[in-house]
Structure 1
Amino acid sequence: MKKIWKWILAIVVVLVVADIGAAAYFYHVAVVPGHKDFLSSSQTLKKSDPLYKEKLWYQKVAKQTWHETSATDNLKLDAYYIPAAHKSQKTAIIAHGFMDNKTKMGAAAAMFHKMGYNVLVPDDRGQGDSQGNYIGFGWPDRLDYIKWMKLLLKREGQNQQLVMYGVSMGGATTMMVSGEKSVPKQLKAYIEDCGYTSVNDEITYEAKTMYHLPYWPLVPSVSAMTQLRAGYNFKEASALKQVAKNHKPMLFIHGDKDTFVPTRMVYPLYKADKGPKQLLIVKGATHAKSMAKNPTRYYQTVRKFLAKYVH
């Protein structure tokens, strides 16, 4: 009998050690900033890009560099600020995606600049030129963006009308911001493009589709490790719960061929939102490619939506 219990204990120990090892590996894959094999690393701007002109403009336009301190752990954060061509009281705050940074948001920045907006494009903690050794997936970052808004109002005046826009992880960040009571009253509308319902849902989906791994025990273990090392867990990082508390206008955008943040995620998000809302599904668009797939429709939809709430 004692031998059986020893075997059982040995097996349990091996399984626990294996789980901890796997959690540490996937924590590094998902949460630690750095090169990711599953993401395109191409930085070359090609003339064949349907958004070439916008991205080239962004590379060349004069930018101010702004700094802020993170809301929870005193990290130095970095951002670009581009004033409108003519003095404007309208400003767009743009949130980038997973392992992206402010230098890659040229198409969105150009879109808002054409509409007469000032543009603020921060680097999230752990990405670009901002400090940090983990990716927040939008959850700790939501409070940082509120600090950016307040800094903007302090520098540019309390009469500013703010819009927040984000793509992919930035879309989820935008929705996570929307559920916070401390969002300034000057924030008039949100635009989220292909954001996920929650970090837990997205990590679970990626574990299954990319690694053919089940939810249990890997995802809860990586979430627990993230709690210990980064101060948040996957379940609390829910765009779905946050958007359910939002009462301000929100435009939801998703490509119908998205297999990275599956298109199906946008429907419960849209349904949960409590404010004035609109849904744009772009046919043929893969992940974060809705603007590139149909630039004219994208631009017109955003412009018409914002015209109702920002004057």
Structure 2
Amino acid sequence: MKKWGKRLAVLGGILFIILVCSSYYFYHLAIQRGEKKFLEGNQDLEVSAQAMEEFIAGDWREWVREQQFQDMMLTSFDDLKLKGYFLEAKQPSNKLVVFAHGYLGHGKQMGLFGQYYYEELGFNVFMPDLRGHGQSEGAYYGFGWHDRLDLIDWTNQLIDQLGEDTEIIYHGLSMGAATVLMASGETLPSQVKAIIADSPYTDVYELFKYQMDKMFHLPAFPLLDLTSVITNIKADYTLKEASALKQVKKAQVPILYIHGENDTFVPTHMTRELAEHTSSHHIVWTVPHANHGEAFVLEKETYIQKIQSFLNKYVKD
């Protein structure tokens, strides 16, 4: 019996070591800053030819290159140097859109939407590089959790620059959508009038749980729970703590939810669940046949109409 007890203890120790090593691997794979080759060829991220053409060769890219952005810097609450890009409206305006980009992206990629706000709506435009992305510091990806506080700090800095009468819209895509929703549960400056969340997830744990099953056919427990412990040690947040779902329950700002009905990377039901628990006024628009982040390209005219109708309710002319 003693021999069997020792063998079981050794086996348990080996299994624990394997799980811990695997958790570090998954932290490195998804959360630690760096190349993410595991996403290459991911069928869930395949988009239509129309969307791909717009993403890689749309005229918005030339528009971004032609603009004279003002570089802005922010020191985060945990002493990271973050960078953002401000574009003053053509005509004096107190309207400002603050963007939040997706995972592995950078601020100026939101020029896909920024061109419309700037050229058609006459807004001032601000596009930050979220922590760990672009030219901002950070050794990990915050998946919106720490980024929500950075977003508020950026907002206060912009209000100081533009004036107390500034009216601000948050517009986020994918991870950026989760970021603006996570911010919604905080005490926001009164200047923030509305939020647009395109393709958000409920929380990081549920997103990873879904992706682990899709990509690796693995159960969440115990590997994801150990990964959450590693994340807490190395990045100071847990995967369940980083929850847009908990935050929207406290939201006071109106929210427009947008999601593609064919999204297989961040499933559409996550937006529906978020909306069901949102305490503020909200609207949900799902887009037939659109995969992750495709809605603006595939249904641009309707997308713009939805934005205009939404903003007309909450932003003064």
- Classify the TM-score, shorter chain: over 0.9
Aligned with residue 251 of structure 2, among 246, 257, 277? 246
The Cα of 1:49 is off from its aligned counterpart by 5.4
TM-score (norm 1): 0.95
SS of the residue 1:192 aligns to = strand
Which string of whole-angstrom CA distances, capped at 9 and with x for unpartnered residues, describes residues 270-304 of structure 1?
11111121111111110011111111111111111
Q: Note if contact 2:205-2:240 (Cα within 8 Å) is conserved in structure 1.
A: yes
- Aligned-residue identity in percent: 38
Q: Which of 34, 48, 68 is matched with 1:62 structurally?
A: 68
Specify the alignment match of 2:32 in structure 1: 32
| Contact 1:247–1:273 under 8 Å retained in 2 | no
- SS of the equivalent of 2:190 reads coil
Structure 1 CA distance, aligned partners of 2:162 and 2:296? Answer: 29
- Judged with a 3 Å threshold, the aligned counterparts in structure 2 of structure 1 residues 49 and 202 are, in CA distance, closer, same or farther, namely closer
The structure 2 residue matched to 1:187, chosen from 179, 187, 192, is 192
Alignment of structure 1 residues 1-311 onto 2, 5 Å? 1-39=1-39, 52-71=58-77, 73-113=78-118, 114-181=120-187, 183-311=188-316
Distance 1:130 1:254 in 2: 28
Corresponding residue SS for 2:314: coil
Does structure 2 retain, via aligned residues, the 8 Å contact 1:51–1:107? no
Q: What do the CA deviations read for 1:237-267 (whole angstroms, capped 9, x no partner)?
A: 1101101111211100000000000011111
Report the AA paired with residue 167 of structure 2: Q
Cα distance in 2, alignment partners of residues 9 and 111 from structure 1: 62
Gaps of 5+ in 1: none
- Greater Cα shift, 52-61 or 263-272: 52-61
In the aligned structure 2, how far is the partner of 1:116 from the partner of 1:277?
24
Deviation at 1:47, TM superposition (A): 6.1
Look up the equivalent residue of 2:82 and give its one-letter code: L
Stretch deviating more after TM superposition (269-278 or 149-158): 269-278
Could you say if the C-alpha distance between residues 47 and 263 of structure 1 is closer, same or farther in structure 2, counting changes exceeding 3 Å?
A: closer
Instruction: State the distance in 1 between where 2:196 and 2:225 align.
Output: 30
Stretches (4+) displaced over 6 A: none
Check the 8 A contact 2:54/2:297 in 1, yes or no: no
Deviation at 1:205, TM superposition (A): 0.6
Q: Structure 2: which amino acid aligns with 1:97?
A: G
> Is this contact kept in 2: 1:204–1:219, CA < 8 A?
yes
Superposed CA deviations along residues 213-250 of structure 1, whole A, max 9, x for unmatched, are 10111110110000000000011111011011112111
Secondary structure of 1:105's aligned partner: helix
Q: Letter of the aligned partner of 1:149 in structure 2? A: T
In the aligned structure 1, how far is the partner of 2:194 from the partner of 2:161? Answer: 21
Equivalent residue pairs, number: 306
Is the deviation greater in 226-235 or in 274-283? Answer: 274-283
Structure 2: tracts of 5 or more residues without a match: 42-50
Contact 2:84 2:128 (C-alpha < 8 Å) held by counterparts? yes
Cα shift readout 1:110-132 (whole Å, capped 9, x = no counterpart): 12112111011111111110001
Q: Matched residues in 2 for 1:74 and 1:295: separation?
A: 39
2:223, 2:121 → 1: CA distance?
45
Inter-partner Cα distance in structure 2 for 1:240 and 1:51 = 35
Partner-residue secondary structure (3-state), 2:37 = coil
Secondary structure of the 2:239 match is: coil
Residues 1:46 and 1:231: Cα distance change in structure 2 (over 3 Å): closer
Letter in 2 for 1:21: C
Structure 2: how far apart are the matches of 1:47 and 1:247? 38
2:67 maps to amino acid: V
Q: For residues 299 and 199 of structure 1, what CA distance do their matches in structure 2 show?
A: 29
**Counterparts of 1:216 and 1:248, CA distance in 2:** 35
Structure 1 Cα separation of the partners of residues 300 and 57 of structure 2:
8
